[in-house]
Chains A and B, each alone.
Chain A
Amino acid sequence: DVQMTQSLSYLAASPGESVSISCKASKSISNYLAWYQQKPGEAYKLLIYSGSTLQSGTPSRFSGSGSGTDFTLTIRSLEPEDFGLYYCQQYYEKPLTFGSGTKLEIK
């Protein structure tokens, strides 16, 4: 199975700041990488797919980059509503696998 590692489990930042969340695959997955946001009491939300393509409705302050094994989700000019958990998911091969998540707390 492809292991997805999100090395940072917790991150705190202030509104207006920029943050980057990393995700590393145990083997090359090309750009078959999606990012999701999960907020308490809400359904998972797809933010980005194909490594860098914004899902319809995702604010432009979100961006994704990377290919191969190393990926980054960047949020520019943090808004208070950006708090939550962020997960990466590879879909290069089955079984589909997820990272363990990075919790973003807004200071």
Chain B
Amino acid sequence: LAKTTQPISMDSYEGQEVNITCSHNNIATNDYITWYQQFPSQGPRFIIQGYKTKVTNEVASLFIPADRKSSTLSLPRVSLSDTAVYYCLVGEEGYSTLTFGKGTMLLVSP
């Protein structure tokens, strides 16, 4: 399983765009990159998943360079309710388990 490295914490203000980068130097050919969000005392919530280039949904964008050794989760115009821990995970297509790293604690201030 590819190991991931993320910043421990990030600070932002309401209305700003936040980019959280995750390093996964040992990502395998069949691995996909998935981001989850977790609020205190709640289960993680799926945000976005991608394999290469760019993926966008209604809440976020995921940018993956050609070498796939890193990925960036982009949250446009964050609000106070985006304060949470964000986890980057790398997993193989199929029935592999997920290994959660320490995640990034994002604090959004007024």
Bind each other:
no
Q: Which residues of B contact A (CB under 8 A)?
A: none
